[in-house]
Structure 1
Amino acid sequence: MNGFFRKLGLFIEVKRGLVIAASVLLLLAALVGASRLSFATGIETMISTDSQVYRDYQEFNKNFGAETVIILARAEGLANLVDLDNLTAVDSIEQQLSKEAGVLSVVGPGFALRQAMAQIAGAPVLPPDQATLEVIMLDSRALRSEMKHFFPTDNFGIVIITMEGGTSLDQVSAVVDAARAAIGRVSFNGIEASVTGASVIFAKMEELMTQSMSTMIGISMLLMLIILAAVFAVRGFFAWRWLPLGAVIIGSIYAFGMMGWLSVPITMVTMAILPILIGLGVDYAVQFHNRYDEEARRGETVAEAIIDSVTHIGPAILIAIIAACLGFAALFLSPVPMIRQFGMILIIGVIACYLVSLFILLPVLYSHDRRKKAASKTASPKDGSEVGIVERALAKLAPRIIRNPVLIISVAAVFTVIGIGLDSRIETETDENKYISQDLPLMKDFNDLAALSGGSTAFNIMIRADDVTELEVLEWMQTLEGRLLSQSVVPVLRVDSIAGVVAQAAGGGLPSAQAAVNQILEFVPELAKANLLTGAKTLANVTVMTAPGLSTEDLRGLRETVDTYLSSPPAGVTAVVTGQGVIGIELMDSLTTGRVEMTLLGIGLVFLGLFVLFRFNAAKALIATLPIAMIIGWSSVVMYFGGIKYTALTATLGSLIIGIGVEFTILMMMRYQEERQKGAAPGAAMTTAMTKIGRAVITSGLTVVGGFGALLFARDFPILTDFGAVTMINVGFALVSSLVVLPTIIVAIDLRKERKLAKAAAG
């Protein structure tokens, strides 16, 4: 491998102009690709589009409209809520929005009043005066129970806008804008209205994601500038220590260009890629720059410094890159699409940053030093020794940790075991709405709505038949409703279906003749049927509403009960359970079982990869992998006591930290082997290795911490801030493990080998 990299170094030295020109052309192509980037916030980012769960949900959405926009009217009191002028204004909003493209139905206080007037006066009109209005809405100065669906309290009114199936995010956004414009055109007295709902949140997501990405990129750049200025001291003028950051910016553009060309969208997970790549990429660039600088300090010519730095550090970083990519490749095992995309772009990004460091950073250094003739003469010692504070500290640390292998390894192992035991007790967050800050005004409105509604839709039962309005099918639906309301697994607050609508119109029970059913259905307004029955009468929707805040296990138990009730439908009838509850269960399963498998696979792939790269030396592969694998347990301790839940991002921590941390152990091991090959004893070789490469490893670790630290400023997305905090701690653990646990293990093993050899020789 060294021979190949020596030839590569010679190629970079001779063909540097060609290399830089090719890099510029690729950069232009990457910029074009980056312009093709798009955002994705829908269910397809969390559930595989090939799964039956996704297909059922899409069919339900197409026929009944899963997207809803809610207008929440807050009144100062009941008097304002039942004021005819205010309700006339609400009704005008309903009428305007019912004409918007993509809207399936609009039901609210105006709809309820018109329905009541249709029964009283025979026409769906608004009450003519305040007295009639109060007769319809009030009973002993309190809201009538039949009005509670649209007037949940004495202070709130709700308008529900259901979108047609298959509507795009742009259509939802247009309806949200239309709703806000309609609110602005009317005049309320003592009422404030706002637009909310899950669809509104997703429509707003792109704007929030763009703002957060801009903040994270700016912060990560600033942190890199500070870290490199404080820690990374190299020859030349002060700003030269920021050269690795420039290289990484180019590498990140390459990565985002590939995202565009491969049609990988920006999601709540992949939006974290850029600050992470900045941290990781600066790490690789620092290693190359540091080794080039070390060779130059030895008094080598510019050409020799380039060739030797590529020869010595190139293979070590390549092995680290391959090991990192193998760790990231474990993310492909996840059933969650945005996690798989996260893994793919991480792999593309680290490879791009490695190639940029090799083919752009080094040629730039060469061109600069060749012109200045700075590499041929230096006042530094010819052996390149350093006397900085970091090197002095590491030189003192090395002998102390080498003398205490039992204590260090025991403490590390104990925390690993404790973490493994605690891991199963860490909660998993599957509610995508909780991935967004609850302090945002739109989330406050959404939470107010959830509290007011007195429940949330747990499941939708989609029923198929040649004619779902046949009396036999309606009777089965009504029986199903009764069983759901009476079952005791989870309290069911309400069940809505077309059978219930017919029974209510018939006075409380289903008619005994099909003709009567058909007559009632003709009378029921289309708006009342739109979300329960398709026009062809081949599909029906049964909505099961439960109390809000149920755990996934509660939903799972209810789902199993519902499946039991659906096991024996009438002949020619099929039923499937879908809706947000099913999505939540599916996502929970993906984030729990998939997370453990991804972590184990990541460890296994890294070990096998290093086993091959280290020429089938199992001991070296194990030594490089074990210290980093141990910190997965340490991470669980932090998450458990820190109250941090597993999410779509923190579920990747195991594979991610294996991929990131193994670089530190590989660099340390290979520098140690380099010193051993020069004839140094184990203790002296490790002290030299820690002193020589320790500064670069610490700088690399700090840049990675800085990259993840930028995630802490994505305040609108707790999913990112939690992930950033835990990963920063894990990278710190990786540094500790690489500079404390790894050296102890390596030296202890080598000393034992030497003792055995000495004993054998003496014997």
Structure 2
Amino acid sequence: MTAVDRLIERVDRLVTERPLAVIAAFLLVTVVFAGGLTGIQTSAGADQFTQDIPAQRALDEIDEEFETSIGGSATSAQVIVSDDNVLSRDALVRTLETQSRLESRSTLRVASTSSHADAIARQLDPAAESAAERRDAVAEATPAELRTAVADADAAGAVAPQVSVDYNPTAQRAGTAIVGITYDLPDAATTARVTELQTRSVDVVDSVPGNEAGENAILFGDGVLQSEITALLTDTAIIVFPAALILIVGFLIFAYRDPIDMAIGISALLLSLLWTFGFMGYAGIPFSDSLVTVFPLLLAVGIDFGIHIVNRYREERETGTGIGASMRTTTDQLLVAFLLVTITTVFGLVSNVVSPFDPNRDFGIVAAAGIVFTLLIFSVYLPAAKVLADRWRERLPIPEFGTTALGSGGSRLARVLRVGVDLSRIAPVAVVVLLLVGGAAGGAYGTGVNTEFSEEAFFPDQDRLETYADLPEPFAPTEYTFLDVLDLFEEEFEQNFGGSVTLYVDQSVRDDDALELIDRTTRNPPDTFETTDERRAAATSVVTVIDDRAAQDPEFASLVERNDRLGNGVPDRNVDEVYDALLDSPAETQARGYLAADRGSARIDYTIRPGVDNSEAVADVRELAERTPLEAVPTGSLVVNEAVIDLLTESAIRSLFAAFGLTALFLALSYAYLEGKAVYGLLNLVPVLVTVGLLIGSMRLLDIPLTPINAPILSVSIGLGVDYTVHFVHRFVDEYKSGLPVDEALDVTIAGTGGALTGSMLTTVSGLGVLWLAVIPLLRDFGILLALGVFYAYLCSILLVPSLVVVWGRYGGVVGLGLDGGLRDSGVETGR
């Protein structure tokens, strides 16, 4: 007796002889796992996928070292104010009053605020230190004084960067402006703390007369963003979970047709979820967008296991066998298949630990642990509960409901399921060739699938939100400001998302040649960069700030000229003296955006031509970083997103090969150990390859891009595909070994296991496919892909495996499958 046989024998005894003790033990373990539920935290959004990318680290350093950030740091926020004219007296007073209330509310921990109104007020009263004093200076100025102050602030370069692109300096008009907020928080401040402060800041902004938060004064920052992404997860769960529950219960009723059996199956599913949630809490793994898909996946495998157990048990009971003996036969046959399915699925999931993204690694770990829990619960707890329930039925007057196996007898389902077996008798070679070619064609076509990553990809489009807006509470989704902010940045401001790339100069810029080297990066720009009349890149740096100031200030221009040995307008000696004068001028604020306080780093922004492909622009700025003698790191949202995209394909392919290699090796060794024929394991993999090929092709056909959320789909599809083929092949091998000819063994397999596979497929596809209702588009796409993966795996197991068995027996028996005799005994032609 092998170790596996001894393990199964021990499970048999526990399940049939001590079912009540088994149930009590599992409930006790559930109580322990429930203690971990309180430790679950939430992590969401694009930041999860960018933490370890050099371009993101450079972006974070820019946020810390410069006053003008690119992406916005965790301890900063912006208020986007709109008005008929944000440069009018009333609008300036309202803006400064907003700043004053934010700064004066000590509980908000606001360190400073900044705006175009600040710069204008300082022109009126350079001694005004607080926002309230600057507000009073604007309120008390004469119209002529105010107009002069606006012109002077504009000349100093302090107005245009803070207002929208409709700014008219002559008319002194603009429709929108940005107020910057910096919070006095330690680097270790939690997201929850930042979110709390920014949420409370919204109330303060709304308290200013004339402000309507979310309308003409929208506060946006990392905390608000994280809050909205968390709300998206909640809204998705509120919509998806009830729909999934209704569909799953409906199909479970079809599969079980008995309320007691269904209650046992649902209780086992709940235990699986509780154990997995508890594990997450104890392991300190945060609940993220990626992990939303774990739970439909666990439901899929759990439903599959439960239906197989109950269906196989019913087959035995229909022969008149007793409760204990029927369950022993069931577990003897299915536990090996469950073990194979679990281990191969775990391989497919654990392969994600090689992913460069933390959320995908967490997904692999949590899903693998959940699948192992599912194996234990459905292999031991559910059989014990079924045995105990049926024994009570015999002693108590409890009526029986539907107790026949799915697909048995001459039912309509049984006739449909026989299509694959019938085709294996008529044209097995044609079936195998057709499906193999289809899978290969799908895989080849799918190599052109797009990749996508951006912060906005985590948010639904406005049309989808409007579709859900009519739902009653609590299903109606939250009102999100992110979409409005994104539109405003793209439509109203020049520095919009995706409009520029940046070089972070990570070295001291105090040497004589530092400014010359920065200036050289703008010469002979690539075609993707916007250019000026002088064939230079349209760039902003400390050099351009110096140029602008020199054009406005003759004294400063003279200083620049004295320190410009080459005569090109760029200081190349005594640069510290030039910096001192620049920072002591009205251009200080603008200079601080491109020169670090310790002058140990600098920043250069390049504008991208409209309509240029993002990947081309990123490639050009990367080449520029390599070419310049400066120690420069390319960064900006475009560069970060492209870096994630570069890793996506590599990660997906690496996980796919790891999953396939581990699965192939394990199945071959397992069947060699269990049945003495490694080729049985390899036969399982052929339908899986077809499934993966069809799935990749479907991604491109349905225009579903590869994203960080669905990157694990290829490796997961191997586990899902093996699930169905293992059940079919394992049952067939058992029936064939019992002495049945091949065609009769296939008949028995399709009648019993085929019915269970159908019930499992319908329930799983509906449970996973309901993610199509998710508010988050990435989750919707992942749900569609998971459901398609299950459906393709089911079709391949029903249609391809019977013909594959016949073809291998006809042409490949010489290498060890040993089906020649069975084929001849059954009367199936073997090519004579």
TM range (shorter): 0.7 to 0.9
Q: Which residue of 1 aligns with 2:279?
A: 258
Q: Which residue of 2 aligns with 1:109?
A: 116
1:686 aligns with 2:707: no
Partner-residue secondary structure (3-state), 1:427: coil
In 1: Cα distance, 2:200 partner to 2:612 partner: 33
Report the TM-score when normalising by structure 2.
0.81
Q: Are residues 1:345 and 2:366 paired?
A: yes
TM-score by length of 1: 0.88
Question: Does residue 493 of structure 2 align to residue 453 of structure 1?
Answer: yes
* CA distance in 1 between partners of 2:45 and 2:780 (Å): 21
The answer as to whether partners of 2:38 and 2:281 remain within 8 angstroms in 1 is yes
- The counterpart of 1:187, out of the listed 204, 209, 229, is 209
Instruction: Determine the structure 2 residue equivalent to 1:230.
Output: 254
Tell me which residue corresponds to 1:728.
Answer: 787
Note the C-alpha offset of 1:361.
1.3
**CA distance in structure 2 between the partners assigned to 1:241 and 1:13 by the alignment:** 20
List aligned pairs for 1:42-441, cutoff 5 A: 45-47=48-50, 49=52, 52=54, 55-64=57-66, 66-67=72-73, 68-75=76-83, 77-78=84-85, 81-98=86-103, 106-117=113-124, 125-126=137-138, 128-134=141-147, 137=150, 147-152=159-164, 153=166, 154-161=174-181, 166=187, 168-188=190-210, 192-196=216-220, 200-233=224-257, 237-373=258-394, 386-395=409-418, 398-439=421-462, 441=480
- Mapped to 1, the partners of 2:649 and 2:263 lie a distance apart of 41
Distance 1:475 1:72 in 2: 36
Contact 1:555 1:585 in 2 (8 A): no
Contact 1:298 1:384 in 2 (8 A): no
1:675 is displaced (CA, Å) by 1.6
Match of 1:38 among 25, 41, 47: 41
CA distance in 1, matches of 2:736, 2:824: 17
Q: Which amino acid in the other structure matches residue 436 of structure 1?
A: F
1:375-433 Cα deviation digits (max 9, x unpaired) = 99999899995444322332455223432223322221222222222223211011132
Deviation at 1:10, TM superposition (A): 0.9
Q: Residues 355, 120 of structure 1: CA spacing in aligned structure 2 closer, same or farther, 3 A cutoff? A: closer
State the secondary structure of the residue aligned to 1:650: coil
Structure 1 residue 13 corresponds to structure 2 residue 16: yes
Q: Distance in 2 between matches of 1:762 and 1:704?
A: 40
Amino acid in the other structure paired with 1:69: A
Equivalent pair of 1:450/1:548 in contact (CA under 8 Å): no
Question: 2:768: which partner in 1?
Answer: 708
The CA deviation at 1:333 is: 2.0
Cα distance, 1:158 vs. partner?
2.4
Aligned amino acid, residue 24 of structure 1: L
Match of 2:648 in 1: 591
SS in 2 for 1:265: coil
The one-letter code sitting in structure 2 at the alignment partner of 1:94 is: Q
Go from structure 1 to structure 2 and tell me whether the alpha carbon gap of 1:740 and 1:130 turns closer, same or farther (over 3 Å shift): farther
Distance in 2 between residues matched to 1:215 and 1:758, nearest whole Å: 56
Contact 1:12 1:19 in 2 (8 A): yes
Deviates most, 434-443 or 282-291: 434-443
Moved more, 315-324 or 509-518: 509-518
Question: Is the 1:298–1:382 contact (alpha carbons within 8 Å) kept by the matching residues of 2?
Answer: no
Give SS of 1:203's match.
Answer: helix
Instruction: Note the alpha carbon deviations across 1:649-681, whole angstroms, 9 max, x for none.
Output: 322221111101111101111111122122222
Q: What is aligned with 1:664? A: 724
The 8 Å contact of residues 501 and 618 in structure 2, kept in 1 or not, is answered as: no
| In structure 1, C-alpha distance between the alignment counterparts of 2:831 and 2:446, rounded to whole Å | 50
Query: Contact 2:294/2:366 (CA < 8 Å) preserved in 1?
Result: yes
**Alignment CA distance shift 1:184-1:120 (3 Å):** closer
Q: Deviations over 1:156-183 (max 9, x none)?
A: 2222335678354234324432442233
Cα deviation digits, residues 677-724 of structure 1 (max 9, x gap): 222221121121001111111111122212312311211x10000111
Is the Cα–Cα contact under 8 Å of residues 603 and 629 in structure 1 kept in the other structure?
A: no
CA contact (8 A) 1:44 1:337 kept: no
1:506-517 alignment runs, 5 A limit: 506-507=550-551, 511=560, 512=563, 513=574, 514-517=576-579
1:652 equivalent to 2:672? Answer: no
The corresponding residue for 2:541 is 497
Q: SS of 2:293's equivalent? A: helix
In structure 2, the residue corresponding to 1:738 is in which secondary structure?
A: helix
Bigger shift: residues 651-660 or 374-383: 374-383
The answer on whether the counterparts of 2:345 and 2:719 sit within 8 Å (CA) in structure 1 is yes
For the pair 1:564 / 2:608, whether they are aligned, the reply is no
Is the CA contact (8 Å cut-off) linking 1:90 and 1:109 kept in structure 2?
no
User: Number of matched residues?
Assistant: 745
Residue 605 (structure 1) aligned to one of 655, 659, 662: 662
Give how far 1:622 is off.
1.8
Amino acid at match of 1:160: G
* CA gap 1:147/1:381 in 2 versus in 1, 3 angstroms: closer
Q: Against the structure 1 CA distance between its residues 97 and 535, is the aligned structure 2 distance closer, same or farther, given a 3 Å change threshold?
A: farther
- Structure 2 distance, partners of 1:217, 1:690, is 32
**Which residue is 2:505 aligned to?**
463
Question: How much does 1:269 deviate?
Answer: 0.8
Task: Give, as a single letter, the amino acid of the residue that structure 2 aligns with 1:746.
Answer: V
Identity %: 19
Write the distance in 2 (CA, Å) between the matches of 1:472 and 1:87: 42
Q: Which amino acid aligns with 1:539?
A: S
The code of the aligned residue for 2:662 comes to L
Give the C-alpha shift of residue 355 in structure 1: 0.7
1:204, distance to aligned residue in structure 2 (A):
1.8
Partner of 1:473: 514
User: Which residue of 1 is the match for residue 473 of structure 2?
Assistant: none
* SS of corresponding position for 1:507: helix
- Structure 1 position 553 matched with structure 2 position 615: yes
SS of the residue 1:576 aligns to:
strand
Distance in structure 2 (CA, Å) of the matches to 1:641 and 1:132:
63
Query: Within 2, Cα distance between the matches of 1:623 and 1:110?
Result: 73
Q: 1-side partners of 2:311 and 2:486: how far apart?
A: 52
Secondary structure of residue in 1 paired with 2:481: helix
- Letter of the 2:181 counterpart: I
CA contact (8 A) 2:420 2:802 kept: no
Counterpart position of 2:697 = 637
After superposition, the Cα gap between the structure-2 partners of 1:96 and 1:528, relative to the gap in structure 1 and judged at 3 Å, is farther
Contact preservation (8 Å) 1:328, 1:346: yes
Equivalent AA in structure 2 for residue 92 of structure 1? E
Is residue 768–residue 786 contact of structure 2 (8 Å, CA) maintained in 1?
yes
Q: Could you report, residue by residue, the CA deviation over 1:434-473 in whole angstroms, capped at 9, with x for unpaired residues?
A: 122132542321322222223446444333445x456643
Cα distance between partner residues in 1 of 2:119 and 2:279: 53
Is this contact kept in 2: 1:217–1:275, CA < 8 A? Answer: no
Structure 1 gaps of 5+ residues are: none
SS at the partner of 2:80? strand
Q: Distance in 1 between matches of 2:408 and 2:226?
A: 56
SS in 1 for 2:202: helix
1:576 pairs with 2:633: yes
Structure 1 SS opposite 2:217 = strand
Contact 1:405 1:745 in 2 (8 A): yes
CA deviations on 1:274-308 (whole Å, 9 max, x unpaired) are: 22222222211222222223223332222222322
- Give the C-alpha shift of residue 310 in structure 1: 1.4
2:79 touches 2:180 (CA, 8 Å); kept in 1? yes
Moved more, 365-374 or 187-196: 187-196
Question: 1:529: how far off?
Answer: 5.4
